[in-house]
Amino acid sequence: MTDDIWPEDYWGFLGMPAQQKENPMYTGIEAIAAERKRQIEAEGWTPEHDDRHVSAELAQAAAAYALNCCDNSDGPELRFMGADIWPWSDFWKPSADPICDLTKAGALIAAEIDRLLRQRGGFT
């Protein structure tokens, strides 16, 4: 990958073999769990941090990443809608790899589910 947000070896960065992209050795759920762990440990996006996002921002960010995976046959307007729904003021720069974007989307969905469960008192 060449964009500035993603490390050159994204899969290695997640603690997975570098060949993950070409020869998947992990399932999608394992990649999502590894990304969520990276978000917490490397980015500091802890449950306490997530609890401050009370207006579905985590779900919106997940949707933005998921929409980026639409190709032109799905309608180019869908792909670029991600930037329109990005919930934060900082610039959104998705990766060129749909698997990476879907992995981030899945991790953000998991974070939002956990936040909602904590809010209900059903998860700590």
What's the pTM value of the predicted model, to 2 decimals?
A: 0.75
Calpha distance 58→105 (Å, rounded): 9
User: What tokens were used for 59?
Assistant: 């779900």
Question: How far, in whole angstroms, is CA 114 from its chain's centroid?
Answer: 15
Domain boundaries, the chain: 28-120
Please report, for residues 25, 66, 85, the alpha-carbon distance to residue 80 in angstroms, rounded to integers and kept in the order given. Answer: 31, 11, 10
Q: Is the pLDDT of residue 2 over 50?
A: no
pLDDT at 31 over 80: yes
Banded model confidence at residue 54, pLDDT cuts 50, 70, 90: very high
